[in-house]
Amino acid sequence: MSQTTDRLWGARFKSGPSEALASLSRCPERYFRLTPYDLAGSRAHAGELQRAGLLSEEETRTMLDALDRIGADFSAGRIAPTLDDEDVHTFIERLLTERLGALGGKLRAGRSRNDQTANDLRLFLRDHVRTLAAEVLALQQALVSQAEQHVESICPGFTHLQQAQPIVFAHHLLAHAQAMLRDVQRLMDWDARTSLSPLGAAAMAGSAIARQPEHSAREMGYSGVCENSIDAVASRDHVAEFLFIASMLGINISRLAEEFCLWSSRQFRWVTLDDAYATGSSIMPQKKNPDIAELARGKAGRLIGNLTGLLSTLKSLPLSYNRDLSEDKNGVLDSVDTLLLVLPAMAGMVATLQVNVDELRRQAPLGFTLATEVADWLAMRGVPFKQAHEITGALVQACEKHDIELWEASPTLLAEIDPRLTPEVRESLTLEAAIAARSGRGGTAPQRVREQIARLKTALVAQQAWTEDYQGFRL
């Protein structure tokens, strides 16, 4: 005699699972966040069963109504999974059978937890990448807004954390915005590859019942169906790719955060953080700490860890489905939550900070940052750059010896170093001249920076449109 069980897999077993197995097998509580996405897949699958003749039109309407009510009850907190609900699929089937009796059990036909779980995470990610992109855009827009105010604000640029050449502060801010522009582009590219439905793959060989999965794919907002049923349930490269993008975004945020830790220090004094986006010390009353930047910097390690963890899980897994793959959701949920905490805080910090323009300009020429202007000036007059480099180095040494700046070198000192160093070179040794000389596309000349801002703002408008133009399932 067959046994009735609330589990989806226990029909051939004579006894139930041990307590240890049940505890290990039950999904973590946070995985039940996927309930709305599992309901979306269930609605689409009900249509498949009607097309296959397993549900009548009236039964389909009843099923869809029950799924809608479960969704509303779950969102309102009127229902919640119990300890006996192994996962979100078990949870929903239990509710369906409680509310519809035998009809509720019909929905399982033609599908498997394998294609369900793959579909749930795809829907969750496709929904949330747009939310994440919108938050990245808010940070980019804060950077652009600050940049627009500082197209003429000259500051030192750095290599090796040593002062290198003068730039405008806007150019430095926009470098961070450009990196994040690519992060959103990666999300857009990822979405194009991930817009294929795994429903219909069933356990791994495809479904003998749900034979028109392209219909359910359209209902869920996919552009098509996975080409291979084994690949549909066994692959998690789209999850790993998302976690890579999240990690790269975390790294880009961390690099920006590190700059603000430096810039807000007494040693730099470049920026002043708004009180609402800084903290104090429990013992040192004078402190104003860049905690948002430090916390964001720390979270990058967490994001990298989530990627590394999944890659380690995927390594050497044979095809097709293995239970190891249930680990895919852990890193995804954590990475999404982490970024949704970090991004608004960073955007607020950037939007409200004050830039100390006078201090930027004071520091801009320090450390002989105009030395390259001398070498370029000589090269433009036919001096081979190897010689120009050596002549300029000698000039720097002489200025250090006499404790003067480059533009303070007398005609006599210039001639002693090299007769080709005529007094006219000093016309190039101003911050404005150095900035204006970098006038190629992508350079720091103010006009080029204004053009960069205009192009970037156009790109951000297009990305904003993408975040709003999602036809799939959304919470």
Closest to 360 in 3D by CA, of 149, 180, 138: 149
Spatial distance between the Cα atoms of 93 and 237, rounded to a whole number of angstroms: 29
Q: Is 157 helix (H, G, I), strand (E, B) or coil?
A: strand
Residue 168: beta bridge partners? Answer: 154
Contact 290, 273 (CB under 8 A): yes
Q: Is 281 a catalytic residue?
A: yes
Residue of 15, 160, 282, 316 with catalytic role: 160
- Determine the Cα–Cα distance for residues 153 and 171; give it in Å rounded to an integer: 10
∠ CA(423), CA(428), CA(429), 5° rounding?
A: 85
Q: Of residues 23, 75, 145, 281, which has the active-site annotation?
A: 281
Planar angle of CA 116, 121, 125, nearest 5 degrees? 150
Interatomic CA distance for residues 299 and 341, integer angstroms: 10
Determine the straight-line distance between the first and last CA of the chain, rounded to whole angstroms. Answer: 43
Confirm if 136 and 336 have CB atoms less than 8 A apart. no
Cis amide leading into 320 (omega within 30): yes
Q: What is the dihedral of CA 311, 313, 319, 325, to 10 degrees?
A: -110
Task: Note if 89 is an active site residue.
Answer: no
Q: Are strands 224-225 and 162-168 parallel, antiparallel or unpaired?
A: unpaired
**How many angstroms separate the CA atoms of 238 and 170, rounded?**
36
**3-state secondary structure at position 168:** strand
Q: Is 56 exposed, middle or buried (0-12, 13-18, 19+ CB in 10 A)?
A: exposed
Active site residues: 160, 281
